[in-house]
Amino acid sequence: MKEAMLYRKLEGGVVECGLCNHRCQIKPDKFGICRVRFNRNGTLYTLVYGKIIAQHVDPIEKKPLFHFLPGSRSLSIGTVGCNFQCDFCQNFEISQYPKIEGRVVGEDTSAEAVVQAALTTRSQSISYTYNEPTVFFEFAYDCAKLAVKHGLKNVFVSNGYMTTEALDTIYPHLHAANIDLKAFREEFYRKHCKARLAPVLETLKHLKKQGVWLEVTTLIIPGENDDPEELREIAQFIRDELGAETPWHVTRFYPRFQLLTRPATPVETLRMAYKIGKEAGLKYVYTGNVPGEDGEKTFCWNCGELLIDRYGFGIMSFRLTDEGTCPKCGAKIDGVWE
């Protein structure tokens, strides 16, 4: 066990965790909501420091990040645990493990070993993903700091529930993030995730202000968040608060975990969301989890020229100039290209 970062001691041995917006007040011998942070004798400990449950070399497109070092490898790691309890979680075996099994598992590793693995596999970045990086913040932080020293970038794939203290702590070492904006209704967050929408919107705005390269993902669930008006509100929020240059990924839901009564998202719904995003003025909208769709390609926002042809997570052709512009009309294509 390692002592946690970002918490404060209250009276009676109670501690308040400041990592995510649940701000759990945890009594002695109790866990936080994520079940991976534990109060022992008035000190908060993380139980997942260096306890990796998954480590793979993924294409960066899998995060998904389509405008950040395209075609590069990203060493991707995760632990068990999550601060959300989404009933539709597509990765619940890992994220909900501590709640389901009542314990923490993972292979012991170190920040040095993770960074070395990234270098050995010629990855350009380390992605903190598979589960919510906030709940293994201390380990991610140590890896990220060391990674930067070795010329690597760091990527968070997150539900966006981090506090501003946590964001400000990781920010000097963070280069890109894909944040879920799961819906635009408080009710959805309460009912399906046991969380709130408002802090997620704040996180998105804060990351944008910090200058972290940001992409947003919405998993579209039939009958839950596929109302065109709600999708329009998401697109308008991205345009007005994050900038029209922020890529929006609208991805296909498959029935998983506890939400088995909803069908997989029809391709037509994803195409509708794509259209709504473009009509709202977003420059880059992508459909996800349906390989072969035009919606996974990058077109010039100005002249419509095909610039990056993808199939799934693979890049079939890449036609941006070295300056990151469209070769046909010269428009600047937003992103981190090298």
Chain position carrying tokens 């041995």 = 13
Is position 95 an interface residue for ligand SF4 (rule: CB under 6 A)? Answer: no
DSSP secondary structure letter of residue 264: P
Considering only the stretches 17-25, 97-105, 144-152, 329-337, report the one whose residues sit in contact with ligand SF4 under the rule CB under 6 A: 17-25
Of 46 and 74, nearer to ligand SF4 (C-beta) is 46
**Beta carbons within 8 Å of 102's beta carbon, 6+ residues apart:** none
Q: Which of residues 289-328 bind ligand SF4 (CB under 6 A)?
A: none
Q: Which is nearer to ligand SF4, 24 or 146 (CB)?
A: 24
Looking at beta carbons only, is 84 or 213 nearer to ligand SF4?
A: 84
Minimum distance from residue 193 beta carbon to ligand SF4 (Å): 12
Q: How far is the CB of 226 from ligand SF4 (least distance, A)?
A: 28
Please check whether residue 66 is in contact with residue 247, taking contact to mean a CB–CB distance below 8 angstroms.
yes
Nearer of residues 34 and 126 to ligand SF4, judged by Cβ: 34
**C-beta of residue 84 within 8 angstroms of C-beta of residue 94:** no
Task: Report if residue 251 touches ligand SF4, rule: CB under 6 A.
Answer: no
Under rule CB under 6 A, residue 33 binds ligand SF4: yes
Q: String of b and e for 15-39 (b: at least 16 CB within 10 Å)?
A: bebbbbbbebebeeeebbbbbbbbb
Nearest residue (CB) to ligand SF4, 37 versus 310: 37
When asked if residue 159 is in the footprint of ligand SF4 (CB under 6 A), the reply is no
Q: Give which of 200, 164, 194, 160 is closest to 178, Cα–Cα.
A: 160
* Minimum gap (Å) between residue 19 Cβ and ligand SF4: 4
When the beta carbons of 50 and 133 are compared against ligand SF4, the nearer one is 133
Closest CA to 282 of 325, 318, 321, 334: 334
Q: CB nearest ligand SF4: which residue?
A: 32
Taking Cα atoms as reference points, which of 90, 95, 76 lies closest to residue 140? 76
110-119 CB burial, b ≥16 within 10 A, e <16: ebeebbebbe
Bridge-based pairing state of the strands 213-220 and 176-180: parallel
- Region from 18-26, 58-66, 87-95, 256-264 binding ligand SF4, contact rule CB under 6 A: 18-26
| Side chain identity, residue 310 | R
| Least distance (Å) between residue 102 CB and ligand SF4 | 16
Check: CB of residue 160 under 8 Å from CB of residue 181: yes
Q: Is 19 in the site for ligand SF4 (CB under 6 A)?
A: yes
Q: How far is the CB of 107 from ligand SF4 (least distance, A)?
A: 22
Please pick, from the candidates 86, 135, 147, 193, the single residue that binds ligand SF4 as defined by CB under 6 A: 135
Name which of residues 162 to 181 contact ligand SF4 (CB under 6 A). Answer: none
Using rule CB under 6 A, residue 17 touches ligand SF4: yes
CA-to-CA dists, residue 184 to 84, 129, 171, 193, 279, angstroms: 16, 23, 26, 13, 18
Which range binds ligand SF4 by CB under 6 A, 32-40, 92-100, 216-224, 322-330?
A: 32-40
The structure tokens listed for 62 are 């899998």
**Can you give the binding site for ligand SF4, defined by CB under 6 A?**
17, 19-20, 22-24, 32-34, 37, 83, 134-135
